[in-house]
Amino acid sequence: MNATATATEQIISPSQLLAHWQGHRSLTRRVIEAFPEKEFFEYSIGGMRTASQLVLELLAIGAPAMKAIVERDEKPYTEAGNALTTKALFLQQWDADTDAINTYFAQVPTEDFGKTFNLFGQYNSPIIHSILYFIDNEIHHRGQLYVYLRGLGVEPPFFWER
Amino acid sequence: MNATATATEQIISPSQLLAHWQGHRSLTRRVIEAFPEKEFFEYSIGGMRTASQLVLELLAIGAPAMKAIVERDEKPYTEAGNALTTKALFLQQWDADTDAINTYFAQVPTEDFGKTFNLFGQYNSPIIHSILYFIDNEIHHRGQLYVYLRGLGVEPPFFWER
């Protein structure tokens, strides 16, 4: 690495990272909307989880994980189960979590991003690494949902529109 | 946002971002390796590009884009065309680009990440946004390659191993 790059010379602020994540979440919301209702719950490829199951994972991470980080609560990972029975209910939860993520993210002091927390009682790493993982994991599964949409003959939203 | 989060209080250093990207590139390399030779060039779902075509896009961005950023060269985006005819040639290029990315990334002064550059003569944005886009775009297409592998009955590498 560049000898001038030290730990004190950094390139992304918390507010920029939050805006980056919420931009991705806005795109993921449009991908959910693009699914036909039935196929959202039933279609998959190669034995993978359905779109609804993949989105349940994203919902189990984003807002609950930020709440857990703020409260330093190591309670285990849990998915919502069978409560979300329609796309509309998924979208309603998605929007509630958008607000919750904004609220909890703002409660992480800048100096805490480098601190270690044992998320869900099993992922012990710096908070910044956990948050980058949430974003990466969402992009990863959303990329899979793009293939599902193509497999269903549905045009997905443009990747670069946030 | 938190009133304490200003532009000067930041959370990711250049070396951390490079390590994050190269961790993803290491996983993408293993996804390329996991494809059967023939299907890497021929298989797709729903009219999408083949794995080899998607990886040509990633190769056209990573190292060439970092070189263009360092040299402030706005030359247009171009893919390698038909030179890479085997998986082994793709992997060879991937490894060469790993070194090139390390070299060029280290030549971006920390204070330049916030500066604007018109990448490929058409994407005019802060350099940090371009680099985050490269990583996100790679995760997105690699997520699609996971579905291709599942569609082919091949177990992909674990997403969380870098």
Assigned domain for A96 exists: yes
Helix pair angle (B127-151, A127-151), 10° resolution: 50
ipTM of the complex model: 0.93
Residue A103: predicted pLDDT: 98
Residue A100: predicted pLDDT: 98
Rounded Cα distance between A21 and A29, Å, is 12
Closest partner CB to B10 (pick from A2, A11, A106): A11
Paired residues of A118 in beta bridges: A124
* Residue whose tokens read 């779109």: A51
List of chain A residues with pLDDT < 70: 1-10
Assigned domain for B71 exists: yes
Assigned domain for A37 exists: yes
Distances (CA, A) of A162 to A5, A28, B12, B99, B120: 30, 9, 22, 31, 21
Assigned domain for B1 exists: no
Q: How many helices (H) and strands (E) does chain A have?
A: 5, 2
- A24 annotated to bind ligand: no
Q: How far is A28 from chain B (nearest CA, A)?
A: 12
Chain A CB contacts of B153 under 8 Å are 46
Chain B CB contacts of A70 under 8 Å are none
* Residue whose tokens read 């010379």: A9
Partner-chain contact B2 A144, CB within 8 Å:
no
By CA distance, what is B145's nearest residue in A?
A144
Q: What domain range includes position B41? A: 18-151
Cα end-to-end distance, chain B, whole Å: 32
Assigned domain for A158 exists: no
Residue A3: predicted pLDDT: 39
Assigned domain for A3 exists: no
Domain tally for chain B? 1
Chain A CB contacts of B160 under 8 Å are 133
pLDDT in tens, chain B (162 residues): 333 334 445 689 999 999 999 999 999 999 999 999 999 999 999 999 999 999 999 999 999 999 999 999 999 999 987 889 999 999 999 999 999 999 999 999 999 999 999 999 999 999 999 999 999 999 999 999 999 999 999 999 998 887
Partner-chain contact A160 B48, CB within 8 Å:
no
Assigned domain for A5 exists: no
Partner-chain contact A147 B108, CB within 8 Å:
no
Assigned domain for B55 exists: yes
Residue A9: predicted pLDDT: 55
Residue B54: predicted pLDDT: 98
Q: What is the CATH number of the domain that holds A119?
A: 1.20.120.450
Partner-chain contact A142 B144, CB within 8 Å:
no
Closest partner CB to A2 (pick from B14, B45, B149): B14
Closest partner CB to A48 (pick from B11, B24, B150): B150
Q: What are phi and psi of A160, to 5 degrees?
A: -85, 0
Chain A CB contacts of B46 under 8 Å are 147, 149-153
Burial-class residue A81 by CB neighbours within 10 Å (0-12, 13-18, 19+): exposed
Residue A72 · residue A31 · CB < 8 Å: no
